[in-house]
Chains A and B, each alone.
Chain A
Amino acid sequence: TQLLEQSPQFLSIQEGENLTVYCNSSSVFSSLQWYRQEPGEGPVLLVTVVTGGEVKKLKRLTFQFGDARKDSSLHITAAQTGDTGLYLCAPRSGAGSYQLTFGKGTKLSVIP
């Protein structure tokens, strides 16, 4: 059974600050996805990382996949109130894997 941990569980920061959230596992993954979920809505895909060591940037968001493909991080630069939400990581185990397993998420609040 894979263990998937996201940290921190909660994070409250001032607008303009930087932050990093983490997704760690005991298993190796073929790829990993990050989703953001706003209150009252379903999760929305932000990015998929596939290669160990890969770094992807989406405006102020930087995603990194660990070299061993067991962990990932999401860094937000100069957070804005619109970044508020639940950030979920979802690794995939391999080809033919139909089931997407989600971490419990990091709940981010950006205070004006």
Chain B
Amino acid sequence: NAGVTQTPKFRVLKTGQSMTLLCAQDMNHEYMYWYRQDPGMGLRLIHYSVGEGTTAKGEVPDGYNVSRLKKQNFLLGLESAAPSQTSVYFCASSGPGREYFGPGTRLTVT
């Protein structure tokens, strides 16, 4: 039981490049989330999903897209990366009464 895993762990992008962050969970959870964490800003919700095939916007969705084609996977896409998207990205899935977080992806956009 691996819990929540994220790939990659680190990535450096140039402005304008695109990439996809992958989140996978093996706990059969319906709800999954993408957060970003910046110094002094705490965790802010980007997008979330309440089930396979569904997605919804969170607090800071601009510049990101998501897809939940399979229940166990939640993908976060950056179509045209900007320096403001430099951050640590956390994926989470929600079980009864609690959230489980992945180890994070550190993204730098130059």
Interface of B is mostly: strand
B103 adjacent to chain A (CB < 8 Å): yes
B90 touches A42 (CB 8 A): yes
- How many chain A residues touch B (CB < 8 A): the figure is 18
A45 touches B103 (CB 8 A): no
B75 adjacent to chain A (CB < 8 Å): no
Question: How far, in Å, is A64 (CB) from chain B's closest CB?
Answer: 19
Which residues between 53 and 110 of chain B lie within 8 Å of chain A, taking CB atoms? 56, 58-59, 90, 92, 94, 97-99, 101-104
A41 touches B104 (CB 8 A): yes
A48 touches B97 (CB 8 A): yes
A103 touches B42 (CB 8 A): yes
Q: Chain A contacts of B104 at CB under 8 A?
A: 40-42
A100 touches B45 (CB 8 A): yes
Q: Chain A contacts of B101 at CB under 8 A?
A: 42-44
B50 adjacent to chain A (CB < 8 Å): yes
- Which residue of B48, B98, B102 is within 8 Å of A42 (Cβ)? B102
Sample 10 A-B pairs with CB under 8 A, ordered by A number.
A42-B102, A43-B43, A45-B98, A88-B43, A98-B31, A98-B56, A98-B94, A102-B43, A102-B44, A105-B42
In the complex, given contacts A101-B45, A102-B42, what are 17 additional A-B residue pairs having Cβ atoms less than 8 angstroms apart? A33-B98, A41-B103, A42-B4, A42-B102, A42-B103, A43-B43, A43-B90, A44-B101, A45-B98, A45-B99, A88-B42, A98-B48, A99-B59, A100-B45, A102-B43, A102-B44, A104-B40
